[in-house]
Homo-oligomer: A and B are copies of this chain.
């Protein structure tokens, strides 16, 4: 049960990020190390200046889905960023930015939220995931 969970986190909408955060927090609470590799729109969402803002939803949410998500937020549901902060407190969760995606958005490490532990290339990701369950979200 302490097999690493490695996640290529690509999506940057609040619904997918929240689903990812719940899966990460659940795995971390069970004692599993989690290694997250932020690509594309997920990396953009982890910029410190905007991480706690609204990141939209997948188009399939529609108006009814958006209403449901916003209702739960008003009721006090933790945001995905907050869930990840809690997961890092209780477990071993490492979050790395993909170096290619850093170039894509012309970001520096300082632009990222403190949730992000560093920047790595794809080779480092695969080495961290060498004995892991691997998800792409």
Contacts and interface: CB of A to CB of B under 8 A. Distances in A.
Interface string A44-59: 1000000000001011
A108 to B, nearest CB: 15
Copies per complex of this chain: 3
B41 A60 contact: yes
Interface in A32-73: 32, 39-41, 44, 56, 58-61, 65, 68-69, 72
B27 A16 contact: no
Interface residues of A, number: 51
Interface of A: 1, 5, 8, 10-13, 15-16, 19, 22-23, 25-27, 29-30, 32, 39-41, 44, 56, 58-61, 65, 68-69, 72, 98, 100, 103-106, 121-123, 125-127, 129-130, 132-137
